[in-house]
């Protein structure tokens, strides 16, 4: 029975500026380095998206399907109705999660999400869809002047924990022999349907610094 090919799929909004490009490449490298010490399957990330924008590609849909986990790099416009590609990826993994988790042999493992949010910016604007349902990691104080993530005293331990969590989820899938043989027929959710879903998401507005403080 075909098994998964990627430990995790990295989902993020495109961006052409230094802070976004640096974070994505360093986070990918740091997470892949930690996972390499634990298992063979690595991190799938489409680095072309940093420059070319959001787009649909059947190869990306396949890569998502063949991944155990998804790490989403959250920023306030991750769920954007005008550019719903990230939301389509998120909803696709939610659908896979709903199918796959109940198949796990250990009931306790069924309570552990395979979607791991990493907040790059906008912690105050995280929708209840994520904040109320999933534990997230806060990287929102990451700056261009910071030391690289793999060596950063604050963020390196977080990445190590994320890698350990992903490895544990992969082991659960291996123990139960979850099938990954439907990639040929897998597609991301429809764009119009996803836009309708986004309208009901009720995204909170970001607070201005110092708002409400006296």
Q: How far apart are CA 20 and CA 18, in angstroms?
A: 6
**Element of type H or E holding 61:** helix 58-65
Quote the pLDDT of residue 47. Answer: 79
Segment 120-165, tens digit of pLDDT: 999 888 888 888 888 999 999 998 888 999 999 999 999 999 999 9
pLDDT in tens, 81-132: 888 999 999 999 999 999 999 999 999 999 999 999 999 999 888 888 888 8
Cβ pair 13, 119 in contact under 8 A: no
Q: 33: which 2 tokens?
A: 């380095």
Higher pLDDT, 177 or 69: 69
Both structure tokens of 121: 């910016």
Least-confidence region, from 6-15, 35-44, 66-75, 125-134: 125-134
> How far lies 57's CA from each of 10, 63, 186, in Å?
15, 10, 12
pLDDT at 152: 94
Please compute Rg for the chain using Cα positions. 17
Which pLDDT value is given to residue 214? Answer: 40
Q: What is the β-pairing status of strands 137-138 and 42-44?
A: unpaired
pLDDT (average), residues 35-40: 96
CA distance 151 to 79: 30
Average pLDDT score over residue span 193-211: 75
| Domains annotated on the chain, with CATH | 6-199 (3.40.50.10140)
pLDDT over 60 at 212, yes or no: no
Q: What is the mean pLDDT of the chain?
A: 89
Lowest mean pLDDT among 67-71, 157-161, 184-188: 184-188
Any idea how long the chain is? 214
- State residue 189's pLDDT score: 94
Tell me the residue ranges of DSSP E strands in the chain. Answer: 6-12, 42-44, 67-74, 115-119, 137-138
Q: How many CB atoms are located within 10 Å of the residue 9 CB?
A: 25
Q: Specify the pLDDT at position 56.
A: 65
Give the pLDDT score at 207.
Answer: 60
Residues with Cβ < 8 Å from 33, sequence gap 6 or more?
Answer: 150
> Does residue 6 have a pLDDT over 60?
yes
| Angle between the N-to-C axes of helices 85-100 and 191-199, in degrees from 0 to 180, rounded to the nearest 10 | 90
pLDDT for the residue numbered 186: 94
Q: Is it the case that residue 211 has pLDDT exceeding 60?
A: no
Which residues fall within 8 angstroms of residue 190, CB to CB, at 6 or more apart?
Answer: none
Q: What sign does the dihedral 108-90-21-52 (CA atoms) show?
A: positive
Confidence of residue 213 (pLDDT cuts 50, 70, 90): very low
């Amino acid at each position: 029975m075909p098994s998964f090919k990627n430990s995790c799929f990295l989902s993020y909004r495109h961006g052409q500026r230094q802070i976004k490009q640096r974070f994505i490449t360093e986070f990918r490298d740091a997470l892949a380095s930690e996972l390499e010490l634990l298992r063979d399957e690595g991190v799938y990330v489409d680095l072309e998206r940093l420059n070319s924008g959001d787009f649909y590609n059947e190869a990306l849909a396949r890569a998502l399907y063949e991944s155990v986990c998804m790490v989403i790099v959250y920023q306030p416009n991750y769920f954007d109705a005008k550019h719903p590609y990230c939301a389509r990826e998120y909803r696709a993994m939610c659908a896979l999660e709903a199918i796959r988790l109940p198949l796990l042999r250990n009931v306790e493992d069924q309570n552990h999400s395979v979607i791991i949010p990493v907040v790059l910016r906008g912690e105050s604007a995280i929708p209840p869809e994520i904040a109320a349902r999933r534990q997230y990691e806060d990287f929102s104080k990451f700056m261009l002047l910071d030391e690289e993530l793999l060596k950063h005293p604050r963020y390196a331990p977080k990445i190590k924990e994320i890698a350990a969590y992903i490895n544990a989820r992969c082991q659960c899938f291996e123990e139960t022999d979850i099938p990954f043989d439907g990639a040929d027929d897998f597609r991301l959710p429809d764009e119009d349907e996803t836009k309708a879903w986004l309208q009901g998401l009720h995204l909170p507005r970001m607070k201005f610094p110092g708002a409400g403080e006296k």
